[in-house]
């Protein structure tokens, strides 16, 4: 069994915030893989389904970002899911908008949601980092992530969340490179090959 967590803040006022891109990604997973209806459990919302033949619990903590670990720990204890079988999707200001990276373990880089999870379940979970860009000034980061994506961001946000949802089965199987390859191809499709030069034309 796997625990797939999308980070964000609850309520319609936060729905389109940069900080909520984790929510957006798991919403897309639930839609595209026909998971069950959302239910209120573990201080959050839960949906259940299967990925690559494995039972998966999707969780959106509703404790507000800074206390996300309470919700994650509650679900993990109930289902007896180890950190190694937990995947957390979250926003990342240190990556350019739309850039996706995945890793296991590591630091939280000041992300308060990750810091909370680290304190409750440890660091040995997998993280899918979705770049939202940096405002350029450290003092305004808090306001920046709590503001909505701009209209010009909507295309890449949709493309990225769909790409993650389409590639998530590879991640469920533990294939981090395969997951990244599928996401990269979907968000940055290879340029069409140029046709070979016309040999007859060169002879004229």
Domains of the chain: 2-189 (3.40.50.1470)
What's the pTM? 0.91
Mean pLDDT of 10-18: 96
Query: 3-state SS string over 35-73?
Result: CCCCEEECCEEEEEEEECCEEEEEEEECCCHHHHHHHHH
Q: Strand, helix or coil at 24? A: helix
The rounded distance, in Å, linking the Cα atoms of 117 and 66 is 9
Mean pLDDT of 119-137: 94
Catalytically active residues are 19
Residue 142: pLDDT above 50? Answer: yes
Residue 58: pLDDT above 90? Answer: yes
Instruction: Say what the pLDDT of residue 193 is.
Output: 63
pLDDT, tens only, 168-202: 999 999 999 999 999 999 998 666 666 666 545 44
Instruction: Say what the pLDDT of residue 172 is.
Output: 95
Instruction: Say what the pLDDT of residue 110 is.
Output: 81
């Amino acid at each position: 069994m796997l625990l797939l967590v999308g980070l964000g803040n609850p309520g319609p006022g936060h729905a389109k915030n940069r900080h909520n891109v984790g929510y957006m990604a798991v919403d897309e997973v639930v839609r595209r893989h026909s998971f069950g209806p959302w239910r209120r459990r573990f201080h959050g919302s839960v949906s259940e389904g299967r990925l690559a033949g494995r039972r998966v619990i999707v969780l959106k903590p509703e404790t507000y970002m800074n206390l996300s670990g309470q919700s994650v720990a509650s679900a993990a204890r109930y289902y007896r899911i180890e950190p190694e079988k937990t995947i957390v999707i979250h926003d990342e200001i240190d990556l350019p908008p739309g850039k996706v990276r995945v890793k296991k373990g590591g630091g939280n880089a000041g992300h308060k949601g990750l810091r909370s999870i680290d304190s409750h379940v440890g660091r040995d979970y997998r993280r899918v980092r979705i770049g939202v860009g940096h405002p350029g000034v450290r003092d305004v980061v808090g306001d920046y992530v709590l503001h909505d994506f701009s209209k010009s961001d909507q295309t890449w946000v949709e493309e990225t969340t769909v790409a993650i949802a389409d590639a998530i089965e590879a991640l469920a199987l533990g294939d981090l490179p395969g997951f990244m390859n599928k996401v990269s191809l979907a968000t940055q499709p290879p340029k069409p090959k140029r046709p070979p030069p016309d040999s007859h034309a060169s002879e004229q």
